[in-house]
Amino acid sequence: MNSPSPGPDEESRARELVDLITQHNRLYYQEDQPNISDAEYDELFRELQDLECRFPSLVFPGSPTQNVGAAPAEGFRSVTHRSPMLSLENAMNDGEMRAFDERIRRALDIDTETDLAYWAEPKWDGASLEIVYLDGKLQVAATRGDGKTGEDVSFNARYISTIPPQLKGGQDVPREISIRGEVVLPIAAFDELNARREEQGLPLLANPRNAAAGALRQLRNIDQARLQALEFQAYGLAEGLPAHAHTQQDIMRSIESWGFQTNPLARVCPDLESALTFHQMLQDQRTDLRVECDGTVFKVNGLDLQKELGEVSRAPRWAIAQKFPPQQQTTRLEAIEIQVGRTGALTPVAKLAPVRVGGVTVSNASLHNQDEIERKDIRVGDTVIVQRAGDVIPQIVAVLPDKRPRGTKRYKLPESCPTCHSKTVRLADEVVTRCPNIDCPDQLKNNLRHLASRKALDIDGLGEKLIDQLVDADAVKCCSDLFSLELATLLGLERMGEKSAENLLSSLEKSKHTTLTRFLIALGIRHVGETVADLLAHHLGDLPALDSKNSDSKNSEIEQLFDQEQIEAVEGIGPIIAESIVSFFSDERNREEITRLRQLGLHWPAVEKTPGKPETAASGKTFVLTGTLTTLTRDEAKERILAAGGSVTGSVSKKTDYVVAGEKAGSKLRKAEELEVAVLDEDGLLELLSH
């Protein structure tokens, strides 16, 4: 049967894909500066493969599907590989791995009852290198290049300590061997190099892979520190097969005996199921590995079987790389929306064209604040790289300037609040821009949500939608209005039945009988969560009447009670929290609101006062939190540290006193180890806070 002929659309798309992929190959392999994510590259590549498969007449010899990498860059002597350095086919999921196994069985005529063993090893993300030895001595080290011809980087390779200049094993080493493997830069070394570059004002290296490839391909080895940080891990042999080797595992044993480092996690998987399990295990450990890893390479273990399977133009038929789901993706930033928080903070949120990242669909990512937007120069219309690691919220890593459409503008947070149109303010020492209007409907909605929440007044039936309705209908203009709501007003709201309205009124009534701690939480004072509210409640015992129409002597009593030094003297309350409490109670409008709430019936029993105690072990100390804690949330941990007089910052530096590392702690933990900053686990933190 004849293959169908491609239409003009298919033909022009194929041509476009060839151009695009060729251009990305050049950026990736020659300039070490890719401008799309690996996942996006894989997608383009698959699309082209697909077209060429449907319309074989579209395949031409220059197509990237028929070649690997890019031709050697100018400035290097070129080296012709004795046998081509191939690429690997990819499997994107278990289904594609199963299909691979089936294909091989069919080709080898092995039934499903017979085991087919695979040699499995992590696919390190680095640069491939071929090293040729003659009579045990290093002759030449060459990059992959376009697979046939690579670049001679022998001079640089000599700085890499894991590349032996002379092989071990004496007489037993074949006369000529050609070892292949990956040159990698371990993540800790990458972070350290970048920290140094930052100090020196040099541009930062994009990722460990590009940093490794860039180091290996320096024309004049100016960055020796980077070269010395590289490691070579061997994964194969192209020349010099020892006579006794029958499996991939045998080859790897010989390579090790000659003095090379091989992948410590590599192993034989006796069948497909154990291969899939190995891949899953590796994926679970992914963030803990010391070298960046983007999947598992599986090779048919038997060398006779490998030989029988042979190769297609760019990849062996006997090997495959099963990839991890991408943790980074590119997508378009369609708009920036502003959310107004409880304290009036304006948070810019990126609205993204929905994209699957690390197994979930992402369509929003916080842009944090103006400084962050400026630092990354994020603009509406940009194509951005979105990252989601583990359970971490999605973030925008960078924009791709090459893909920026014409006519975009730098983004500035609005000068007026998008909800109430008050002029926004940004204090000199703050990164946050705020809406100063405490009656702003957005602020009010968030305050009401907080007030109704479980740890505050715990108002049953007062959910997000109802709060929006109440505020939008002007039925509630401040928190205290909640407690003077009438049945008729509630019944006037859309979709509000009599039963629900009555239930709400009764839960509002019930919530009026509360505790001082809950009431203090409900006020929504910055930095005052459960722990601090409780400390404050035990310090105050009760709240005095805060009515400003009181006599002068009463007012001065209140001022004394909420004096900065007095509050700071409370065990567990540091200066930052104290300041926030003092400023809250010194605001006339807050005091009036408290008075109204009490007039409307909010009450609590008095609390037994506890005397204050001096300093804690955490006071004055700087903490960085990383990873997932099990008994505390991040916010709770932060609050307790602040309560103990410490401070919490986002990045590890020499000034950090403690790094608190939870599960799956990543680069911050490595940085702490590097800078020799004390690391606490969760128990350690709790222990410290209890002193």
Query: Which residues are part of the catalytic machinery?
Result: 123
Checking DSSP bridges between strand 678-680 and strand 658-661, what pairing results, if any? Answer: parallel
- Shortest spacing between CB 289 and ligand IVH, in angstroms: 13
Nearer to ligand IVH, 315 or 380 (CB): 315
Per-residue binder mask for ligand IVH (CB under 6 A), 142-161, x = binder:
--x-----------------
Q: Nearest residue to ligand IVH, using CB?
A: 128
- Shortest spacing between CB 294 and ligand IVH, in angstroms: 9
Nearer to ligand IVH, 235 or 519 (CB): 235
Position 119 contacts ligand IVH (CB under 6 A): no
Position 123 contacts ligand IVH (CB under 6 A): yes
Q: Hunting for tokens 């450990």 — which residue is that?
A: 285
Nearer to ligand IVH, 128 or 383 (CB): 128
Q: Hunting for tokens 């409640």 — which residue is that?
A: 537
Determine the Cα–Cα distance for residues 57 and 468; give it in Å rounded to an integer. Answer: 60
Closest residue by Cα to residue 627 from 640, 637, 613, 612 = 637
Position 124 contacts ligand IVH (CB under 6 A): yes
- The DSSP 8-state label assigned to residue 394 in this structure reads P
- Shortest spacing between CB 134 and ligand IVH, in angstroms: 23
Position 319 contacts ligand IVH (CB under 6 A): yes
Enter the tokens of residue 638: 């932060």
Determine the Cα–Cα distance for residues 154 and 143; give it in Å rounded to an integer. Answer: 10
Nearer to ligand IVH, 233 or 287 (CB): 233
Position 467 contacts ligand IVH (CB under 6 A): no
Which residues, in sequence order, are CB contacts of 656 under 8 Å at separation 6+?
622, 623, 624, 649, 672, 675, 677
Interface pick for ligand IVH out of 87, 248, 322, 330 (rule CB under 6 A)? 87
- Shortest spacing between CB 369 and ligand IVH, in angstroms: 39
Determine the Cα–Cα distance for residues 254 and 252; give it in Å rounded to an integer. Answer: 5
Name the one range near ligand IVH by CB under 6 A: 282-290, 316-324, 539-547, 606-614: 316-324
Name the one range near ligand IVH by CB under 6 A: 163-171, 243-251, 313-321, 558-566: 313-321
Region 353-412 residues binding ligand IVH, contact defined as CB under 6 A: none
Closest residue by Cα to residue 682 from 635, 642, 645, 627 = 627
Position 34 contacts ligand IVH (CB under 6 A): no
Closest residue by Cα to residue 443 from 529, 451, 600 = 451
Interface pick for ligand IVH out of 32, 52, 101, 121 (rule CB under 6 A)? 121
Nearer to ligand IVH, 40 or 121 (CB): 121
Which residues, in sequence order, are CB contacts of 34 under 8 Å at separation 6+?
24, 27, 28, 41, 206, 210
Region 158-187 residues binding ligand IVH, contact defined as CB under 6 A: 182
Name the one range near ligand IVH by CB under 6 A: 8-16, 85-93, 337-345, 390-398: 85-93
Nearer to ligand IVH, 179 or 357 (CB): 179
Nearer to ligand IVH, 303 or 665 (CB): 303
- Shortest spacing between CB 398 and ligand IVH, in angstroms: 24
Position 141 contacts ligand IVH (CB under 6 A): no
Nearer to ligand IVH, 236 or 242 (CB): 236
Region 251-310 residues binding ligand IVH, contact defined as CB under 6 A: 297
Position 321 contacts ligand IVH (CB under 6 A): yes
Name the one range near ligand IVH by CB under 6 A: 49-57, 117-125, 165-173, 629-637: 117-125
How many of the chain's residues bind ligand IVH (CB under 6 A)? 15
Which residues, in sequence order, are CB contacts of 40 under 8 Å at separation 6+?
329, 330
Interface pick for ligand IVH out of 41, 118, 235, 562 (rule CB under 6 A)? 235
Q: What are the phi and psi torsion angles at 157 (to 5°)?
A: -60, -25
Listed as own residue / partner, the contacts of 304-308 with beta carbons closer than 8 Å and 24 or more positions apart are 304/246, 305/108, 305/116, 306/248, 308/107, 308/108
- Shortest spacing between CB 129 and ligand IVH, in angstroms: 8
Closest residue by Cα to residue 531 from 464, 618, 597 = 618
Nearer to ligand IVH, 92 or 319 (CB): 319
Enter the tokens of residue 452: 């109704």
- Shortest spacing between CB 449 and ligand IVH, in angstroms: 49
- Shortest spacing between CB 208 and ligand IVH, in angstroms: 13
> H/E element holding 78?
strand 78-80
Interface pick for ligand IVH out of 14, 79, 86, 452 (rule CB under 6 A)? 86
Give the CA diameter of the chain.
102
Compute the Cα dihedral for 403, 407, 413, 418 and give only its sign: negative
Checking DSSP bridges between strand 383-387 and strand 328-340, what pairing results, if any? Answer: antiparallel
Nearer to ligand IVH, 160 or 594 (CB): 160
Name the one range near ligand IVH by CB under 6 A: 48-56, 58-66, 123-131, 406-414: 123-131
Position 230 contacts ligand IVH (CB under 6 A): no
Residue 499, class by beta-carbon neighbours within 10 Å (0-12 exposed, 13-18 middle, 19+ buried)?
A: exposed
N residues, the chain: 691
Name the one range near ligand IVH by CB under 6 A: 122-130, 151-159, 300-308, 426-434: 122-130
Determine the Cα–Cα distance for residues 141 and 79; give it in Å rounded to an integer. Answer: 9
Write the DSSP assignment of 319-363 as a string of letters: EEEEEPPPSEEEEEEEEEEEEE-TT-BEEEEEEEEEEEETTEEEE
Interface contacts to ligand IVH, rule CB under 6 A: 86-88, 121, 123-124, 128, 144, 182, 235-236, 297, 316, 319, 321
